[in-house]
């Protein structure tokens, strides 16, 4: 039962946050828009922006004070979308397997009670 309640709370992983930021940055926003649309605190935004700029996924446009996606950032987003599809499929299959395991365990325990 405890595991079920934990599953309801979903935290984004590092790659998910980067992808969320890059999706927002694909529209050439300023820093505040990235923070709000990617649902990040200011300190997390600062840390991730430094990381993705250093990785050449985005560039900072000084004249407009906005961020832009680089070709490498576009490549990352494409690869992330493919990864995300695979991950969702695997998670669905794992959930199905867990459900079947639970049924088997109930059958096993139920049969032991009858012995």
Q: The domain spanning residue 24 has which CATH number?
A: 1.10.10.10
Q: Is residue 25 part of a domain?
A: yes
Question: What is the three-class DSSP state of 27?
Answer: coil
pTM: 0.76
- Tracing tokens 């250093």 back to the chain, one arrives at 54
Residue-number span of the structural domain to which 68 is assigned: 10-90
Burial-class residue 58 by CB neighbours within 10 Å (0-12, 13-18, 19+): buried
The pLDDT of residue 113: 54
What pLDDT does 6 receive? Answer: 41
User: What's the pLDDT tens digit per position in 35-91?
Assistant: 999 999 999 999 999 999 999 999 999 999 999 999 999 999 999 999 999 999 999
The phi-psi region of residue 76 (left if phi > 0; otherwise alpha if psi is between -120 and 50; otherwise beta) is alpha
Tens digit of each residue's pLDDT (9 = 90 or more) over 3-46: 443 444 457 899 999 999 999 999 999 999 999 999 999 999 99
């Amino acid at each position: 039962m405890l595991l079920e309640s934990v599953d309801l709370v979903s935290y984004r992983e590092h790659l998910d946050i980067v992808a969320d930021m890059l999706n927002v940055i694909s529209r050439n926003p300023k820093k505040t828009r990235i923070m709000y649309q990617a649902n990040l605190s200011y300190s997390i935004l600062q840390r991730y922006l430094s990381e993705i700029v250093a990785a050449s996924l985005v560039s900072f446009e000084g004249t407009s004070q906005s961020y832009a996606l680089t070709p490498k950032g576009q490549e990352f987003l494409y690869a992330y979308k493919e990864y995300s599809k695979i991950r969702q499929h695997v998670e669905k299959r794992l959930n199905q397997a867990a459900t079947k395991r639970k049924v088997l365990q109930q059958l096993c325990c139920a049969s032991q009670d009858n012995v």
